[in-house]
Amino acid sequence: MVEKEIKKSIDSATIDMLEKASSDGVSTAFSRAAAMKPCPIGAEGSCCSNCAMGPCRVPLPRGREETLEDKQKRKGVCGVTAETIAARNFTRMIAAGTASHSDHGREVTKMFLAVAKGEAPGYEIKDEQKLLQLALDFGIKIGDRSNNEIAVDIGQTLSDEFGKQEGELLFLKRAPLKRQELWRKQGVTPRGIDREVVEAMHRTHMGTDQDYHSLLRHGVRTALADGWGGSMIATELQDILFGTPSPVASEINLGVLKKDEVNIIIHGHEPYLAEIIAVVAQDPEIIDYAKSKGAKGINLAGMCCTANEVLMRHGVPIAGNFLQQELAIVTGVLEAVVVDVQCIMQGLADIANCYHTKVITTDRRAHMQGATHMEFDEHKGAQSAKAILCAAIDNFPNRGTNVRIPKEKTDLIAGFSHETINYLLGGMFRASYRPLNDNIINGRIRGVAGVVGCNNPRVTHDMQLDMVKELIKNDVLVLQTGCMAMASAKAGLMVPEAAAKYAGAGLASVCEAVGIPPVLHVGACIDNSRLLMAATAMVKDGGLGDDLSDLPVVGAAPEWMSEKALAIGQYFVASGVFTVFGVNWPTIGSKEVTKYLFEDFEEMYGGTWAFEPDPIKAAHLMIAQIDKKRKALGIDKTRERILYDMEMRRELEAV
């Protein structure tokens, strides 16, 4: 029997595999979500379990307005208010998100230092230009020193950013001056990355910070340590080590799996192992080994953000986004899913038991019961990769007959790093954001939206498409990362031809002139730092104000689930960007806290949060915000003229 949860996605490959999962009798995140309703008290941020006097639940009254008497009663055993509980929970989520991105950044830094010191054979410095630019930024001597010598100093400088006790994070200097001053004035300039995360945990411990204003201020400081710290370090150093992405063609969706080859999915977030697997998988010796087991070859595909990383740099196809990870196993043709860190469902181990798939954990920080652990050693990268590939190949003969590969796969172009956008718009020798700014000023492009984040089985999988289509139809250029980028790619929005099909006339004319899709794949979750850099470049190119908050730029995470998404949203907001989230809002249990985030933050940071679960309505909130910024910049009239011209053109065509 077909279960109710199979209607949970708009992606037909996902629906197909949910039907197969149902007939195979296996549970997935979709069926588990349907069977278990979310706790309403936790969802609104009104539950505290920060000490053993609790957990304390202080829900809003249901079905009626909160009275003063209710408010008096809504206290934990320690006397803490519902406001403090909501703000503490929110700050802890930001801290966890920041910790995850930043621990990724730390690992990259360690890897970078190992490569610079010649201790990680198989890896090398690929982007010399970016290396030298960073050296100039940090005042590190270049002279006649080798790249590796310079890299050691850069690695050490950035490694120190994590444990720095005082001062300001180095990358904050990249932000417009006005923004830096605003952060100082608000007291949210981050010092060291680890320091802000540790302080967030301390402040939210029982009996420490009990004022929601100061708790949330520290949440902002912590989030900034992510966007302008840990995430930016990860992006920059990965670019130097593995190459700064440039446009690359590939394919996406479960249809990239192959019936007659050894299928291996690389899944998670940190790309060092995946990088070397992508290389070693092409070794003729390994391919011959696969053939010796009866396969025609090795088919590597990605999942989640590790997928984005190896897509952008090697063109490795993507099997799917977050909610498709279990479904890739349901195909019955997956020999191994090789995971590193973050967004890996423990459900993989259970579901793999029902098929022949091997779940291989590879990171010392992320083990899973029921999985095979083959720890990656960066000092012996190629050996680690080879051992993992062989384990997958050895599993090929165990493949059963219960197989079905969805036919869906879609072409996409990825790899629009901040530098690439610069070159594409301005040309190789005059790389600049000037043409983007000019087209925003003349109204062909109304504004820019970053639509990022995860999938969530509490809402229709990939429903963000409605938002993205509405935005581009209204001439908003969309930049995407993470699993949202994958949703648009699956629907065919990430090819240049999509401009004529889906974009408004103004945006389409620019995309066609430059040869870009109307929806740009900018990278993985940590690469939201590229969005900060792109927005900063727009300010620096002039004509659109002198701060990030002046730009007609907005953000959204319509299907978010991860604490990392909240950290990203918070650093967008604190960088001056209006940001709307879908699914649910985790402080709804406190009107004061929610008002503070949704209204007062605008005064303080020039950017604010909003919550709107309907993707079309959310798109219109974003468009309204873009129009508000255009008006403040005095460029609203140019757009009216463009629309008038289009109308006139249509009338002419009708004659």
* Torsion of the alpha carbons at 518, 522, 528 and 529, rounded to the nearest 10: -120
> Which residues, 140 to 159, sit near ligand MSK by CB under 6 A?
none
Among 176, 245, 381, 482, binds ligand MSK (CB under 6 A): 482
Structural contact between residues 398 and 356, judged by C-beta atoms closer than 8 angstroms: yes
CB of 452 to ligand MSK, least distance (A): 7
CB of 301 to ligand SF4, least distance (A): 44
Q: Which does 23 bind (CB under 5 to 8 A by kind): ligand SF4, ligand MSK, none?
A: none
Angle, helices 231-242 vs 82-116, to 10°: value is 20
Q: Using the rule CB under 6 A, give the single segment among 47-55, 228-236, 378-386, 587-595 that binds ligand SF4.
A: 47-55
Q: Does 623 bind ligand MSK (CB under 6 A)?
A: no
CB of 56 to ligand SF4, least distance (A): 3
Instruction: Name the E strands within 34-73.
Output: 47-48, 56-57
Binding mask 240-269 for ligand MSK (x = CB under 6 A): -----------------------------x
> Which residues, 96 to 125, sit near ligand MSK by CB under 6 A?
none
CA distance 23 to 386: 36
Q: Does 132 bind ligand SF4 (CB under 6 A)?
A: no
Alpha helices, DSSP H, located in 126-256: 128-138, 147-163, 177-186, 193-203, 212-225, 231-242
Q: Which does 304 bind (CB under 5 to 8 A by kind): ligand SF4, ligand MSK, none?
A: ligand MSK
CB of 9 to ligand MSK, least distance (A): 15
Q: Which does 341 bind (CB under 5 to 8 A by kind): ligand MSK, ligand SF4, none?
A: none
DSSP reduced 3-state for 83: helix
CB of 562 to ligand MSK, least distance (A): 4
Give the position of tokens 């969309």.
Answer: 478
In DSSP terms, which residues pair with 9 in a beta bridge? 461
Q: Does 206 bind ligand SF4 (CB under 6 A)?
A: yes
Among 12, 23, 49, 353, binds ligand SF4 (CB under 6 A): 49
Question: Pairing between strand 47-48 and 56-57?
Answer: antiparallel
CB of 114 to ligand MSK, least distance (A): 24
> Which residues, 266 to 305, sit near ligand MSK by CB under 6 A?
269, 304-305
Return the number of the residue (199 or 226) whose C-beta is nearest ligand MSK. 226
CA distance 49 to 350: 29
> Which residues, 305 to 364, sit near ligand MSK by CB under 6 A?
305, 322, 343
The tally of CA atoms less than 13 A away on the side-chain side of residue 639 is: 25
Binding mask 72-111 for ligand SF4 (x = CB under 6 A): ----xxx-x-------------------------------
Q: Using the rule CB under 6 A, give the single segment among 48-56, 186-194, 442-450, 458-466 that binds ligand SF4.
A: 48-56
Q: Does 454 bind ligand SF4 (CB under 6 A)?
A: no
Among 337, 385, 454, 511, binds ligand MSK (CB under 6 A): 454
Return the number of the residue (85 or 468) whose C-beta is nearest ligand SF4. 85
Q: Using the rule CB under 6 A, give the single segment among 14-22, 42-50, 281-289, 309-317 that binds ligand SF4.
A: 42-50
Binding mask 59-78 for ligand SF4 (x = CB under 6 A): -----------------xxx
Q: Which of 345, 391, 397 is nearest to 370 (CA)?
A: 345
Helix (H) or strand (E) segment spanning residue 453: none
User: In the β-sheet with 410-414, what is the strand arrangement from edge to edge?
Assistant: 372-373, 358-361, 334-339, 262-268, 298-303, 318-320, 248-252, 410-414
Q: Which does 403 bind (CB under 5 to 8 A by kind): ligand SF4, ligand MSK, none?
A: none
Q: Which does 88 bind (CB under 5 to 8 A by kind): ligand SF4, ligand MSK, none?
A: none
Structural contact between residues 47 and 41, judged by C-beta atoms closer than 8 angstroms: yes
CB of 257 to ligand SF4, least distance (A): 47
Q: Which does 212 bind (CB under 5 to 8 A by kind): ligand MSK, ligand SF4, none?
A: none
**φ and ψ at residue 54, rounded to 5 degrees:** -105, -150
At 615, list the tokens.
């993707």
CA distance 242 to 550: 34
169: Cβ–Cβ under 8 A, 6 or more apart, which residues? 161, 189, 190, 191, 192, 193, 224, 225, 228, 229
Among 53, 142, 632, 648, binds ligand SF4 (CB under 6 A): 53
Angle, helices 464-473 vs 482-490, to 10°: value is 70
Q: Does 453 bind ligand MSK (CB under 6 A)?
A: yes
Q: Does 525 bind ligand MSK (CB under 6 A)?
A: yes
CA distance 625 to 555: 10
CB of 140 to ligand SF4, least distance (A): 46
CA distance 311 to 325: 17
Neighbours of 364 (CB within 10 A): 12
Structural contact between residues 320 and 486, judged by C-beta atoms closer than 8 angstroms: yes
Interacting residues toward ligand SF4 by CB under 6 A: 48-51, 53-56, 76-78, 80, 206
Interacting residues toward ligand MSK by CB under 6 A: 269, 304-305, 322, 343, 453-454, 482-483, 524-525, 562, 564
